[in-house]
């Protein structure tokens, strides 16, 4: 397709050719990793049923992007090569990461890709001492290119993030929009389905569920999983089932086959969730959460379930983040005491007020993401919003996977 600088026309890909669709607005969803893809999905669904808007995806270069284009295509979406995406004009681009977005020929909406602004910049990224104390997604390195603010709109979940931005990159303040958090809102409307989720997962009366969640990196819970796994296998009573949710970057790094091998055939006790599985139903259904400084652990504060922290790298976490606040609230896992005893202690000492304070740090606009985000998108597209309220749908029912089937007295679970 030849670029036309005077008339923006969206494009579809069919049999290797471009087909323009007159009078339709084009939106490019820029995916870097699977985590970004899932975050973008929550935004794209606000416009995807509008006949006036055509959405296509592209996969930007990223160390954890292997196989992502194929995964998206299997979901039935149109995926165009990155090289083609940066040569084509779009009416709007959506991105949850920063790599390469300065090359796009479209106004860019930059979204957060986790719960709260948690991770700090690393010294290896060439940051100054002052910048090292700022969450990476709010840093100048992630927002500027050659001194220019790249995003046309920077979406934030909390008003305090704007306060941080005033110190870290004030040039970006004019384009910031505090709209809320889609996972926060979706989790809230999913809480009422707890009994349905437990039944769908195959939990029997008297059985309890422990969700173990890990972000990625050496300081994550998975970074010492060789020590944690034996405890999960040996120290929990037989009525406790364990669901393991690992960051998609771990699956991308090691491969799901290798991760399953490391579990040593023990998935009747510790079941590794595939990357395609939504963690939200299990989080709502569980009785405890054993997590680290990742976003899912912070989201767990909305469920009313006790949390036990496995690892917490203080030097890598923004001191005013939800994760840092949770580390001062939830008990920490000890290597010296039985795991079941510590889970019982977390239950006995559950700090409901403390968890509410952590949850409040996730967003200052609870329950409003879909409405505010849709308004922002249509304003940038220069279109009137559809004549209906955007709907916040709860998480769907989870599948009862074979890894949880067990045999008792010769009968299949």
Whichever domain contains 245, its CATH number is 3.40.50.2000
Residues 60 and 151 in one domain: yes
Residues 230 and 167 in one domain: no
Residues 41 and 175 in one domain: yes
Residues 151 and 240 in one domain: no
CB-CB contact of 404 with 271 (8 Å): yes
Tokens of 247: 């960051």
What gap in Å lies between CA 287 and CA 148, rounded to an integer?
48
Please state the rounded mean pLDDT for residues 2-9.
Answer: 36
Domain assignment present for residue 66? The answer is yes
What region, left, alpha or beta, does residue 163 occupy, with left being phi > 0 and alpha being psi -120 to 50 degrees?
Answer: alpha
Residues 163 and 258 in one domain: no
Of the pLDDT bands very low, low, confident and very high (cuts 50, 70, 90), residue 400 is confident
The alpha carbons of the chain give a radius of gyration, in whole angstroms, of 22
Residues 139 and 175 in one domain: yes
Judge whether residue 130 has pLDDT over 90: no
pLDDT tens-digit map of 355-399: 999 999 999 999 999 999 999 999 999 999 999 999 999 999 997
Residues 230 and 335 in one domain: yes
Please state the rounded mean pLDDT for residues 165-189.
Answer: 96
Residues 264 and 318 in one domain: yes
The count of structural domains within the chain is 2
The helix/strand/coil state of 211 is strand
Domain assignment present for residue 393? The answer is no
Please state the rounded mean pLDDT for residues 171-195.
Answer: 97
Domain assignment present for residue 399? The answer is no
The helix/strand/coil state of 412 is strand
Residues 117 and 200 in one domain: no
Instruction: In the chain, count H helices and then E strands.
Output: 16, 18
CB-CB contact of 174 with 359 (8 Å): no
Domain assignment present for residue 400? The answer is no
- Mean of the per-residue pLDDT values for the chain? 88
Residues 217 and 91 in one domain: no
Q: Is the dihedral of CA 34, 179, 391, 279 positive or negative?
A: positive
Domain assignment present for residue 401? The answer is no
Tokens of 276: 């395609």
The residue that leads in pLDDT, 34 or 109, is 109
* Structural domain containing residue 200: 184-363
Residues 214 and 69 in one domain: no
Domain assignment present for residue 320? The answer is yes
pLDDT tens-digit map of 25-81: 999 999 988 888 888 999 999 998 999 999 999 999 888 877 788 888 888 889 999
Domain assignment present for residue 306? The answer is yes
Q: What is the pLDDT of residue 68?
A: 85
What region, left, alpha or beta, does residue 311 occupy, with left being phi > 0 and alpha being psi -120 to 50 degrees?
Answer: beta
What gap in Å lies between CA 69 and CA 292, rounded to an integer?
29
The residue that leads in pLDDT, 286 or 5, is 286
Q: What is the pLDDT of residue 411?
A: 35
pLDDT tens-digit map of 8-29: 334 444 433 445 567 799 999 9
Strand pairing report for 144-145 and 148-149? antiparallel
pLDDT tens-digit map of 306-315: 999 998 888 8
202 Cβ contact partners less than 8 Å away, ≥ 6 residues apart: 400, 404, 405, 413
What gap in Å lies between CA 185 and CA 149, rounded to an integer?
29
Of the pLDDT bands very low, low, confident and very high (cuts 50, 70, 90), residue 137 is confident
- Please name which of 53, 112, 48, 96 lies closest in space to residue 76, comparing C-alpha atoms: 48
Domain assignment present for residue 217? The answer is yes
Residues 160 and 85 in one domain: yes
């Amino acid at each position: 397709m030849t670029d036309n600088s005077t008339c923006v026309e969206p494009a579809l890909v069919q049999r290797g050719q471009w087909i323009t669709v007159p009078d339709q607005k084009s939106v490019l969803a820029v995916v870097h990793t699977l985590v970004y893809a899932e975050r973008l999905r929550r935004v794209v669904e606000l416009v995807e049923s509008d006949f006036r808007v055509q959405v296509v995806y592209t996969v930007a270069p990223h160390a954890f992007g292997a196989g992502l284009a194929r995964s998206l295509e299997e979901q039935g979406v149109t995926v165009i090569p990155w090289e083609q995406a940066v040569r084509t004009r779009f009416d709007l681009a959506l991105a949850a990461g920063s790599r390469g977005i300065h090359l796009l020929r479209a106004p860019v909406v930059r979204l957060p890709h986790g719960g709260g602004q948690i991770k700090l910049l690393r010294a290896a990224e060439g940051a100054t001492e002052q910048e090292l104390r700022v969450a990476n997604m709010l840093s100048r390195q992630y927002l500027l290119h050659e001194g220019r603010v790249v995003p046309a709109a920077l979406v934030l979940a909390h008003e305090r993030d704007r306060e941080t931005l005033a110190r870290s990159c004030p040039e970006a303040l004019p384009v910031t929009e505090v709209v809320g958090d889609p996972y926060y809102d979706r989790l809230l409307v999913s809480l009422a389905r707890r009994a349905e989720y437990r039944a769908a997962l195959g939990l029997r009366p008297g059985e309890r569920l422990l969700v173990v969640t890990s972000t990625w990196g050496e300081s994550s819970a998975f970074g010492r999983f060789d020590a944690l796994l034996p405890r999960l296998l040996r120290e929990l009573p037989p009525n406790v089932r364990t669901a393991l949710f690992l960051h998609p970057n771990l699956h991308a790094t090691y491969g799901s086959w290798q991760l399953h091998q490391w579990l040593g055939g023990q998935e009747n006790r510790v079941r590794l969730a595939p990357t395609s599985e939504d963690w939200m139903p299990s989080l709502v259904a569980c009785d405890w959460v054993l997590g680290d400084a990742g976003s899912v652990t912070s989201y767990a504060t909305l469920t009313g379930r006790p949390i036990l922290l496995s690892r917490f790298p203080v030097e890598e976490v923004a001191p005013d983040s939800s994760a840092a606040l949770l580390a001062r609230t939830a008990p920490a896992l000890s290597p010296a005491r039985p795991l079941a005893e510590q889970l019982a202690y977390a239950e006995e000492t559950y700090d409901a007020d403390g968890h509410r304070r952590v949850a409040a740090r996730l967003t200052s606009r609870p329950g409003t993401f879909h409405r505010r985000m849709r308004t922002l998108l249509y304003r940038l597209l220069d279109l009137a919003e559809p004549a209906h309220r955007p709907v916040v749908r709860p998480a769907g029912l989870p599948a009862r996977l074979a890894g949880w089937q067990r045999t008792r007295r010769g009968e299949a679970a």
